[in-house]
Amino acid sequence: MTKRQRAVGSAIEWIAQGPGAARVIGQPKINVIAFGAHPDDCDIRAGGVAAKYAALGHRVRFVAVTNGDAGHQTAGGGALAARRRAEAQEAGRRIGIDYVVLDNHDGKLLPTLAGREQIIRQMRQWTADLVLAPRPNDYHPDHRYTGVLVQDAAYMVTVPNIVPDTPALRKNPVFMYFEDDFQKPAPFAPDVAVSIDDVFDRKIDMLDAHVSQFYEWLPWHDGKLDRVPADAGERKRWLREQLTLEMTPAVRAALAKRYGAARAAAIHHAEAFETCEYGSRPSEADLRRLFPFFP
């Protein structure tokens, strides 16, 4: 089925050909790439905005820097890596984005030169305008080193003599961090917060694809495997409850900055990002262009 819509008050006309197939016409596409340590990390921190970009016809790639081959209580190795790759690809399919899983071992990631070069290639191949990644002060070494690897690539991605097999970016992307709750050396300070109320069900649908994680490994690790419902619909509702988190005052304030206080107060779910000091330093106009979701 085909439908046409013209966005009131903007130059964006989009044509949808079924769910998730909207295309932006008359404005440049934004190329967003997000790096998470494991297949499901980007989904948790940016699955909502990814669904929103995809619905507008922008390009999103999630990259899991490890293959997740340690993340289960009974499975492991190549079989688990294959299962998690399939889950990640299904998750990406459900919201209409690209999902790459790099073949590095889970739980063993280090900030090596080889890892940095993998990250540089990914950013270049995607012609990234916006790069999302964890801050390098996370509890999990894989998360932490994913943050370091992205930071280490932030300048080198523009240097042609580095990784000469893949043409360097002529314009340095904007780098932003995912939200986290670590307080040292500094708490997460959101520069942008986006309401994802309109796509929260789609985000849950995406996360639901990671069966080995949300219904097996993570509940087992937390000692609540017996609370996971057996029925597919029931367990999705359960997952929704697990992932409905309290919003911090800082994120609420960041929402108010762009949606106004009254609208921000009514938002239930948001994803927030902090500008990294590396890469291009975005102006307010740049942020509005890179996050085309605000009123």
Q: Report whether 142 contacts 37 (CB < 8 A).
A: yes
Q: What are the residue ranges of helices labelled H in the chain?
A: 41-55, 77-95, 113-125, 141-156, 200-208, 211-212, 218-221, 232-242, 249-259, 261-265, 284-290
CA end-to-end span of the chain? 28
Residue 129 is a binding residue for Zn ion (CB under 5 A): no
| Interaction of residue 38 with Zn ion, rule CB under 5 A | yes
Residue list 92-121, contact with Zn ion (CB under 5 A): none
Nearer of residues 140 and 236 to Zn ion, judged by Cβ: 140
Nearest approach in angstroms of CB 37 to Zn ion is 5
Q: Give the number of residues in contact with Zn ion, rule: CB under 5 A.
A: 3
Stretch that binds Zn ion, among 36-44, 129-137, 162-170, 232-240 (CB under 5 A): 36-44
Answer yes or no whether residue 144 interacts with Zn ion by CB under 5 A.
Answer: no
Of 40 and 129, the one with the shorter C-beta distance to Zn ion is: 40
Question: For residue 91, which of 43, 159, 25, 160 has the smallest C-alpha distance?
Answer: 43
**Both tokens assigned to 186:** 């500094």
3-state secondary structure at position 190:
coil
Least Å distance between CB 64 and Zn ion? 9
Q: Which is nearer to Zn ion, 140 or 257 (CB)?
A: 140
**Residue 37 engages Zn ion in binding (rule: CB under 5 A):** yes
Contact at 8 Å (CB) between 45 and 36?
A: yes
Least distance to Zn ion, CB of residue 87, Å:
14
CB 90, min distance to Zn ion, A? 18
Under the binding rule (CB under 5 A), the answer on residue 85 touching Zn ion is no
Q: Nearest Cα to 63, choosing from 88, 32, 25, 36?
A: 36
Q: Are 250 and 187 in contact (CB under 8 A)?
A: yes
- Closer to Zn ion by Cβ: residue 85 or 258: 85
Distance CA 283, CA 84 (A): 38
Residue nearest Zn ion, CB atom distance: 38
The binder of Zn ion chosen from 31, 41, 46, 153 (CB under 5 A): 41
- Starting at the earlier edge strand, list the strands of the sheet with 23-25: 2-6, 13-17, 23-25
Closer by beta carbon to Zn ion, 129 or else 216: 216
135 counts as binding Zn ion under rule CB under 5 A: no
The whole-angstrom separation of Cα 109 and Cα 280 is 27
Least Å from the CB of residue 57 to Zn ion: 29
Q: Which parts of this chain interact with Zn ion (CB under 5 A)?
A: 37-38, 41
